[in-house]
Amino acid sequence: MQTSFIQKHLNILDYALSSLLRRKLKNGGIALIFSLVIFLLASFQFLTQSLETTAEKVLVFAPDITLQRLSAGRQVSLPDSSIGSLAGIFGIRQIIPRVWGYHFDEKNGANYTILGLPADSIQKAEVSLSHGRLPQKKKPGEVVISSSVRASLELGERKSFTLFRSDLSQASFTVVGIFTDNTDILTGDTILMNLQDARDLFRLGDGMVTDLAVSVTNPAETDTIAAKISGIMPDTRILTNSQIRKTYRTVFGWRSGFGSVCLLTALASFVILAWDKASGLSQEEKREIAILKFLGFQINDILALRFWESIAVACVSFLLGLTLAYIHVAFFEGSLFTPILLGWSVLRPSLNLDPAVTFADLLLVFSYSVLPYLAATIIPAWRSAVIRAETII
């Protein structure tokens, strides 16, 4: 009984496939458009997942806690002597004073992230360079930049460049190293330099920094230590690594969600098209169904036939769309959607994304695409199954 049921459906599937192949143009067209819609949806999902994964990997190197002073709700610089007031908190492994700010390069129209660290900290930092070395102590003006910044500054073979200070005087720098592209999501627009050089560029007073980067001995204690810092320095904003991760996830998730909603319009259009195509049976198709009914095929059999046809189109499109989306994200860095997900900054990081695909993503894309398609073809399938054979013949 069971074998007969399986055999019956294998036969129906076999027939459905030959039927689809017979109308290559119509079904191929539908499958192509469907694949495109799935490709767009899946690209968004895969890219979001990959960005989150990449951000997670990069944030491993970020400080456990970042301290910024606020005045009137705005961030202001703070003296690096504040470190002393935190010395009594048990569990802090290291506190690094930083100058972290943005510098707008009018000439190139680019916004660079300037990161100034004490020379000792730079040497100890786990920074990956594609070539060169890190800035050294007592060698003012040495910087590490990303390949994107290098291209933006149009350095070519040169190693020196200048940036304007706020008083329009020029500060000179020498490139001694280039960041690896693996961390481009964070370092794509970064210029890393000695703390004093950053102070000089931003015209910060001696001993002033923009924030303090705190490392803790036990990451599980981060929130407790953050609370203690807050008690000692109530005028500071305290950002923990987990908060930053959460923010990344939220931002990418929100942008992806927004993009997906826009793509749902495309999906809706496709479903209408699928409905239309499934409803508009040609005379040849009607004649074929009539023949099948003459030969004793039941309404259920015709429904099963149409269902298998839809499943076949949906599966081929789903696999094709997913494969293209994976290739798009893995080999082309999701270039179609990175502007939406990362923002339209002038210096867009050249990403080396680790393609990350979860079962939940696949299920989501499946639910958004294949299920509506199958639903859209049910009623037309029923209408074709109840065709009155004698009126066709």
Residues that bind other proteins (CB under 8 A): 3-4, 7-8, 11-12, 15, 18-19, 21-22, 288, 291-301, 388-390, 393
Please report, for residues 20, 40, 203, 214, 276, the alpha-carbon distance to residue 26 in angstroms, rounded to integers and kept in the order given: 9, 22, 67, 62, 12
Residue 318 falls in which region: left (phi positive, over 0), alpha (psi -120 to 50) or beta: alpha
Task: Output phi, psi for 337, to 5 deg.
Answer: -115, -5
CB nearer other proteins, residue 268 or residue 299? 299
Alpha helices, DSSP H, located in 280-358: 283-294, 299-332, 338-342
Rounded to the nearest whole angstrom, what is the least distance from the CB of residue 24 to other proteins in the complex?
11
d(CA 140, CA 174): 9
Rounded to the nearest whole angstrom, what is the least distance from the CB of residue 350 to other proteins in the complex?
50
CB nearer other proteins, residue 96 or residue 312? 312
Q: Is 298 helix (H, G, I), strand (E, B) or coil?
A: coil
Rounded to the nearest whole angstrom, what is the least distance from the CB of residue 291 to other proteins in the complex?
5
CB nearer other proteins, residue 27 or residue 194? 27
Please report, for residues 61, 184, 287, 340, the alpha-carbon distance to residue 58 in angstroms, rounded to integers and kept in the order given: 6, 9, 62, 20
Residues ≥6 apart with Cβ < 8 Å to 283: 392
CB nearer other proteins, residue 15 or residue 275? 15
CB nearer other proteins, residue 73 or residue 296? 296
Rounded to the nearest whole angstrom, what is the least distance from the CB of residue 381 to other proteins in the complex?
15
Instruction: Give strand ranges (E) for 217-284.
Output: 236-240
CB nearer other proteins, residue 3 or residue 166? 3
Burial of 350 (0-12, 13-18, 19+ CB in 10 A): middle
Rounded to the nearest whole angstrom, what is the least distance from the CB of residue 312 to other proteins in the complex?
15
Rounded to the nearest whole angstrom, what is the least distance from the CB of residue 373 to other proteins in the complex?
24
Q: Are 150 and 116 in contact (CB under 8 A)?
A: no
